[in-house]
Structure 1
Amino acid sequence: MTDQIVPDSEHRGLVARLPQVPRDLAQLARFDRPIGWWLLFWPCAFGLWLAGAGWQIGLLLWLLLGAVAMRGAGCVYNDIVDADLDRQVARTAVRPVASGRISQTLAWAWLGALCAVGLIVLFQLRWQAQVVALASLALVAAYPFMKRITWWPQAWLGLVFSWGAPVGWIALRGDNWEVLAALYAGCVLWVIGYDTIYALQDREDDALVGIRSSALRLGGRVRGGVTVFYLGALALWGLAFWLLRADWVALLALVPAALHLGWQVASLDPADPANPLERFRANRWAGALVAAACYVVGNA
């Protein structure tokens, strides 16, 4: 039973106890790998908390539910589109659609159910934020094809996974667009950095089947490339803070996140199969540190 669970599952024991079909549906939506919805959720918290309206716990929980549902929907859609490619990569060959355990029809139905949850969350936002959230669908729909046409699908993923920042911001306010632009751009670079780390796991298989990635494009310069992306993210987040509050003390709020991202780069070992996945997952804590900084700067 457990041999049908992907190697990077974070909840192997829990998922293995589920009956076959619910287990496959949970894996299809990556419920066994919560790092994905954390990374989709944190930019929502960045925008919400930097907007300066306090904790906003109710809205924050709705956005968390939306991140879980829409990350799951995105994964289901990705697996439907990528089934043929997934069969050729060792790490993804056992995915439910690629292996044939879940039919395309059931996968589409599951996608519809997850989108229905996302729609419920959408109705909790004011109409301006609803429009912004819906605008992301075109980016999401195009993402699975990016690995076929560009060496930088991570950049497109950055546009998608950072979209929560404008949603969170516009859910509360409609001004200071320069602050939002810098915040969003910083998130995009952060995503490119951590997803380049994630792509290190599949470099050999990707090269064999023709899948493109920033990890392959950077080659032996991955650590340097990730360093540049992380430094750029920190600089842009710092710019967002400065545009909101021209106070050097406010920039100190980013120091914990900067130290954490520096640790990721310094300890990254592309030759160790387990190391990139651990550094990638560590970004749930990087996101928490940046969210805390946004709250401090936005609400001080």
Structure 2
Amino acid sequence: MTEQIVPDSEHKGIIGLLPTTARPYALLARLDRPIGWWLLFWPCAWGIALAGGALERWDLLVWLLLGSIVMRGAGCVYNDIVDRDLDRQVERTRSRPLASGALSLKAAWIWLLLLCVIGLLVWFQINWTARLVALGSLALVAAYPFMKRITWWPQAWLGMVFSWGALVGWLAIAPQFHGGMALLYLGSIFWVIGYDTIYALQDKEDDALVGIRSSALRLGENVRSGVLVFYLIALASWAAAFWMLRPQWLGIAALVPVALHLLWQAVTLTSADGDDALAKFRSNRFAGFLMFLACLVLGQAG
């Protein structure tokens, strides 16, 4: 079973405990790598917290965490359906269930449908404004797998997709547009561009060979500076959102912990070390938590 687990899997033991027939489905939905659903969930949680609903609507946080797990899984299944031929040419991804032949294309489509049905149950837990905005993400999700073929910045498109939950979370609590919500979303986009550029460092050589484009390749030797700029824009956007909601320097101070963490990532990043890149990428789960605490403090104070 070891050879069927992609190299960046976090919890190989969990997959090993599943029945043999279920393992390819779990791997296809990346259930062995919870980092993905945490990164999708945190913007949702930020929106809820900054809108002031984290404590009163804690149940909504749970629902959106479930939604993040299943919809991230659905997105991975769809991505692998589209990319199955490319995945066979990349060392890190050639062992994925579709690329390796462990799972049929028909089975993958059925699994995708089942995950979407669970996501639909979560969709019914939010108000109509948030529901309609959530539907708007589907076009972005559908187009994402093709971005690496037509632009050097697929990470920017991923940023729009993975940050969409900030809008949904906010509107689920306060169903009207607010400039702070837009700035939170903008900052999240640049956060995603930063951490996914770090992630893409692992595949630079293979991506160049098979013609896959990425921000890591586009930036070349300037990856560390690029990531630093992306994170600084994210922090500036979040600071502006906080200031719009509560124009006091004490509110901005709540961002200091997450700012220090992101700056540490960028300054200490080793672009030639795949293990370092993966570790820095995964550390964004903690960065997301620090940002959640900042949003919680400000949201409850307001």
Shorter-chain TM-score category?
Answer: over 0.9
Shift of 1:17: 2.9
Which residue number corresponds to residue 4 of structure 2?
Answer: 4
Q: CA deviation at 1:228?
A: 0.1
- With 195-204 and 167-176 compared, the bigger mean Cα shift is at 167-176
* Deviation for aligned residue 1:14: 1.9
Range that drifts further, 172-181 or 65-74: 172-181
Secondary structure class of the residue paired with 1:31: coil
Give 2:40's aligned residue. Answer: 40
Aligned to 2:258: 257
Cα deviation, 1:176-221, whole Å, max 9, x if unaligned, reads 5211110000000000000000000000000000000000000000
Question: In structure 2, how many angstroms separate the alpha carbons of the residues matched to 1:280 and 1:54?
Answer: 26
The secondary structure found in structure 2 opposite 1:89 is coil
Quote the residue 2:87 is aligned against. Answer: 86
Q: Note if contact 1:5-1:16 (Cα within 8 Å) is conserved in structure 2.
A: no
Is this contact kept in 2: 1:76–1:111, CA < 8 A?
yes
Q: Deviation per CA, 1:36-88, whole angstroms, max 9, x where unpaired?
A: 00000000001000001342210100000000000000000000000000000
* Bigger mean CA offset, 287-296 vs 12-21: 12-21
Gaps of 5+ in 1: none
Cα distance in 1 between the residues matched to 2:136 and 2:160? 12
| Distance (whole Å) between structure 1 residues aligned to residue 273 and residue 193 of structure 2 | 21
> Quick one: distance in 1 between partners of 2:145 and 2:53?
36
1:175 shift after superposition: 3.5
**CA distance in structure 2 between the aligned counterparts of 1:9 and 1:176, rounded to whole angstroms:** 39
Pick which of 53-62 and 225-234 moved more.
53-62
Q: How many angstroms does 1:19 deviate by?
A: 2.7
Q: Deviations over 1:152-173 (max 9, x none)?
A: 0000000000000000000011
Partner of 1:124: 125
Query: CA–CA distance in 2 between the matches of 1:208 and 1:86?
Result: 12
Counterpart code for 2:233: G
Quick check: 1:28–1:95 contact (8 Å CA) kept in 2? yes
Do the aligned partners of residues 281 and 288 (structure 1) sit closer, same or farther apart at CA in structure 2, a change above 3 Å counting? same
Separation of aligned partners in 1, 2:53 and 2:91: 47
1:267 Cα offset (Å): 1.8
Q: Using the alignment, how far apart are the partners of 2:248 and 2:121 within structure 1?
A: 39
Which amino acid letter does the alignment assign opposite residue 73 of structure 2?
A: G
1:175-214 matched pairs, under 5 angstroms: 175=176, 177-214=178-215
1:152 alignment counterpart? 153
Paired amino acid for 2:43: P
Contact 2:228 2:267 in 1 (8 A): no
* 4+ aligned runs moved over 3 Å, structure 1: none
- Residue 25 of structure 2 is matched in structure 1 by 25
Q: Could you give the per-residue CA deviations for residues 125-159 of structure 1, whole angstroms, max 9, x where no partner exists? A: 11111001111000000000000000000000000
Calculate the TM-score normalised by the size of structure 2: 0.98
The CA RMSD over aligned residues, in Å, is 0.8
Number of the residue aligned with 1:111: 112
Match of 1:188, as an amino acid? I
Q: Give yes or no for contact 2:126–2:172 (8 Å, CA) kept in 1.
A: yes
Where in structure 2 are there 5+ consecutive unaligned residues? none
